Chain A
C-alpha cells in the first residue's frame, strides 16, 4: 500500500555526509569536529616546532575552510589569549618578564586595539572587511616569509664560516626623544614614547588580523628598543595576553563575532599539537626550521593573493543580512 518513492526533479540541495559534524553557533556553519581539532593540532604543532604563536596561519586556514573572515579573526584572538597564557607562565617563573616595559607597551596596545576593533566594525558594515583582512595577510605573510627564508639561508651559509660579534645594542634616533624612563629589568634608559608607539601599532594589527603580533613585536623589541633577548619573549607574551583579551572582549561585545565553540575546539587541538611540535623542534637545526617556516608562510600568503587576483566565479556575493 506504500506510495511510490519520492522522486525529486533533481537534487534538492547540497548534502554533506561525514563523520562527526559540529554546528558552530556564531559562524552558523556545520564543520567536521576532527577537521577543527586537526587544524588546531596542526597550528599547535607548528607553533611548538617553530616557537611562534601561529595565529597568522590559523586565520587564513579558517578562511579557507569557509569560516567568514570576520568571525575567523575575532575567534582567533580568543585562541591567542589561551596560548599566550600558557607561554607566559613559564617565563614568569623564570623572571623573564619586564612588567614596566610590558605595561607601557600595553598602554599603547589598548588604544591601538580599541581603535582597531572600531575600524573593523566600520569596514564590516561597508562590506570591505574581507578584502582588508586578506590584503593585510598577503602583505604580512609575504614580508615575513621572505625575511625568514633569507635569514635561514644566510644562517645556513654563515654557519660554516666564523660568527661575527656585534655591539650590545646600537644608539639611534629613538634615543633622542623626551619622557626618558629607566627599565631595570631590560637594563635600558629610553623614551617611553617608543614602546608606546610600538604597542599602538601592534594593537591595531592585532585587532584587524586576530593575531597576537609577537612576530612583529619581538624583532621591534630587540632591534628598536634594544631589549635583551632573555626578557623579550616573556614580555611580549605578557602584553599580548591583555591586548588579545581586549580584542576578544570588544569583538564579542561590538560585533558578536567570537565563536566560543570554535575557539574551544581549536584550543584543545592546539594544546595537544604543541606538545609534539615542541619535541620535534628541539631536534631540528634552527636554520632549517626558519627556512621551512618561511616556505610555509609564503605558500599561505600566495594562496590568499591568488584568491584576490583570480577572476571570481561570480562577481556578486551576499553581504550582511
Chain B
C-alpha cells in the first residue's frame, strides 16, 4: 500500500517526458507543421464526498479533413491478477501473476472505428485500442498462449470494473475543423496523473499529436482522510480508536437520557 502511495505522490514528470518523447518519435517529422489544437474542459477531476463519476469533455480544432483519435490513460501501476480453481469443492485463488505498468484507466475515442483509421502496426506502436496495449508478462514465467489468457483476463476484469472502456467513444468532427468528445470517469476511477493523447490521422498515419495532462485527485475530506491514513498510519489508527471510544460514550449518554 505504501509503495502505491509513493507512486501516487511522486511527480510523474520522468515518465511523462518519456511518453511525450515517444509520441514525438512516432509522429513523422514533417507532420509538425500540421495543425491540431486540443484542450479539455477541466484539468482536475476532484473526487469529493459526493463523487459519483464525471464526464470529461475534450475539444479542439484541426486544419482539414482527417480522423481524430483521443486516448486517455490513467497512471501506470503494477497489477496482480489472480486465478481461481476448485479445491475440495471450494473456489480459491491458486495462481497469480503480476503485470508491470498497467494503465489504471484506459479509454479511446475516435471519429471512426480505429481499424478503419490505421493499420494494426501503427495502432500497436501508439497503443491505440485495448487490444493493442502492451501488457506483457515476463516470458520466463509463462508460455505465449497462457500469457495471452492472463492478458485477456486482466483486460476483461478492468472492463468489468469500468476502468478500461469496452467500446470506443465517438469523436464528433464538424466541418473538418472542430471536434469534441467526452469520456466518462466512473466513481471508482483511480487517482493520479492522467495523460490524454490527441492524434490527427491522415491516410493511416498519425500526422500530428498533442498530449494533455489531467489530474484525478481526492479533494477535501476524502483527500485528508486518505492521505492521513497512508502518511501517518499509526496516528490515524489512534485517532480511529479515540473516535470510536468517543462515539460509544456519546451513544451511552444518549441512551441513558431516554
**Quick check: is A249 within 8 A (CB to CB) of the other chain?**
yes
- Annotate B160-190 by CB proximity to A: 1 below 8 A, 0 otherwise: 1110011111101010001011111011101
Contacting chain B: which of A21-29, A139-147, A176-184?
A21-29
Q: Which residues 77-99 of B sit at the A interface, judged by CB distance below 8 A?
A: 77-85, 89-93, 96
B233, A9: Cβ atoms under 8 Å? no
Interface size class of A (residues with CB under 8 A): 35 or more
A254 at the interface (CB under 8 A from B): yes
Q: Which of A94-121 contact B (CB under 8 A)?
A: none
Q: How far, in whole Å, are A23 and B161 apart by their CA atoms in the complex?
A: 16
B81's contact among A253, A261, A318, by CB below 8 Å, is which? A318
Instruction: Indicate if A49 sits at the interface (CB-CB under 8 A).
Output: no
The proximity string for A residues 127-139 relative to B, scoring 1 for CB distances below 8 Å and 0 otherwise, is: 1101100010000
The reply on A11 being an interface residue by CB < 8 A is: yes
Q: Which residues of A in the span 165-185 have a Cβ within 8 Å of any Cβ on B? A: none
Q: Is the CB of B247 within 8 A of A14?
A: no
Is the beta-carbon distance between A254 and B157 smaller than 8 angstroms?
no
17 contacts between A and B (CB under 8 A): A3-B172, A7-B172, A9-B170, A12-B169, A13-B184, A15-B53, A18-B52, A21-B52, A25-B229, A26-B226, A85-B251, A253-B234, A256-B236, A275-B258, A309-B91, A316-B82, A316-B153
- Interface size range on B against A: 35 or more
Q: Inside 8 A of A251's CB, which chain B residues have their CB? A: 237
Q: Are A15 and B248 in contact (CB under 8 A)?
A: no
Which A residues are in CB contact (< 8 Å) with B81?
316-319
Q: By the criterion CB–CB under 8 Å, are B172 and A252 in contact?
A: no
* A311 CB-CB contact with B under 8 Å: yes
Chain B CB within 10 A, most for which of A6, A12, A252, A321: A12
A86 near B252 with CB under 8 A, answer yes
- Is A217 an interface position by the 8 A CB rule? no
Contact call A258/B237, Cβ cutoff below 8 A:
yes
Is B243 close to A, CB under 8 A? Answer: yes
Kindly list chain A residues whose C-beta atoms are within 8 Å of the C-beta of B239: 260
> Once the chains bind, are B47 and A83 in contact (CB under 8 Å)?
no
Q: Which of A12, A30, A86, A311 contacts B52 (CB 8 A)?
A: A30
A7 lies within 8 A of B170 (CB): yes
Q: Is B141 an interface residue (CB 8 A)?
A: no
Residues of B within 8 A of A (CB): 1-2, 4, 47-53, 77-85, 89-93, 96, 104, 107, 113, 150, 153-154, 156-158, 160-162, 165-170, 172, 174, 178, 180-184, 186-188, 190, 218, 221-223, 225-226, 229-230, 233-234, 236-241, 243-245, 247-249, 251-252, 254-255, 258
Interface centre among A26, A79, A251 (most CB of B within 10 A): A26
Please determine whether B50 and A22 come into contact, CB atoms closer than 8 angstroms: yes
Q: How many residue pairs, one in A and one in B, have C-beta atoms under 8 Å apart?
A: 239
Given contacts A6-B180, A10-B167, A13-B184, contact A248 B241 (CB under 8 A): yes
Picked from A3, A10, A90, A267, the residue with its CB within 8 Å of the CB of B244 is A267
In contact, A23 and B150 (Cβ under 8 angstroms): no
- The verdict on A15 contacting B184 (CB below 8 Å), with A82-B245, A84-B248, A309-B90 known, is yes
- Chain A 224-266: CB-based contact to B (< 8 A → 1; otherwise 0): 0000000000000000010001001111111110101101100
Known: A8-B167, A316-B153. Contact between A78 and B93, CB under 8 A?
Answer: no
Q: From B152, which residue of chain A is reached at the shortest CB distance?
A: A316
Residues of A within 8 A of B4 (CB): 321
- B1 surroundings in chain A (CB, below 8 A): 255-256
Cα A7 to Cα B167 with chains together (Å): 12
Q: Is there an interface contact between A78 and B187, defined as CB atoms closer than 8 Å?
A: no
Q: Does A318 lie within 8 Å of B172, measured CB to CB? A: no
The complex places the Cα of A83 from the Cα of B160 at a distance, in Å, of: 37
Using CB atoms, name the residue of chain A closest to B93.
A127
Contact A260 B240 (CB under 8 A): yes
**Which of A90, A130, A245, A267 interacts with B241 by CB under 8 Å?**
A245
B248 touching A85 by the CB < 8 A rule?
A: yes
A157 within 8 A of B: no
* Interface contact A317-B84, CB-CB below 8 Å: yes
Judge whether A315 is part of the interface by a CB distance below 8 angstroms: yes
- Across the interface, A258 reaches (CB within 8 A) one of B91, B169, B240, namely B240
Question: A312 in the interface, Cβ–Cβ < 8 Å?
Answer: yes
CB neighbours (8 Å) of A127 from chain B are 80, 82, 93, 96
- B254/A82 in contact, CB under 8 A: no
Q: Which of B104, B167, B172 contacts A9 (CB 8 A)?
A: B167
Beta-carbon contact of A81 and B183 below 8 Å:
no
